[in-house]
Amino acid sequence: MHRISLIFVMLSLIFQAMAGVMGKQASLALESFSLSGVLHNPFYFGVLFCLGLQAVTWQLALRRFPLFYAYLFMSLIYPLLLVSSHFIFNEEITIANVIGSAVIIAGVVVLSTDAKKACPHD
């Protein structure tokens, strides 16, 4: 595994997490939903910008990683957003949140392992 490959996956993960955080901030900054409110809210443009960067870095990561490995890394978005929401928005982290994130990651690991066994030529 090359270092640059890992960098693309991590950048994709970071950009996706940033888009999620900016989306939350955009919704909090919007007094009432309207087209004008959305168009004048810089956080919405931040979301679009981060999602654009995420799409590009994700494509570069997929060129270098088998799909099941890439999705294994992307499952880390759940605990990353959990921690981000705690520190940025003062949201509570509950044991259910932690268990839920762990179950999702475990499920992706199991699916990735099964996919690797099913496609030994990768």
Is the pLDDT reported for residue 119 higher than 80?
Answer: no
Residue 113: name the closest of 63, 59, 75 by CA: 75
Q: Using 50, 70 and 90 to split pLDDT, how confident is the model at 118?
A: low
Those residues whose C-beta lies under 8 Å from the C-beta of residue 40, and which sit 6 or more positions away, are none
Tell me the residue range of the domain where 34 lies.
3-118
Residue 45 vs residues 40, 74, 103: alpha-carbon distances, Å: 9, 23, 33
pTM over 0.85: no
pLDDT digits (tens, 9 = 90+) for 99-115: 999 999 898 888 777 65
pLDDT digits (tens, 9 = 90+) for 19-61: 999 999 999 988 888 888 888 899 999 999 999 999 999 999 9
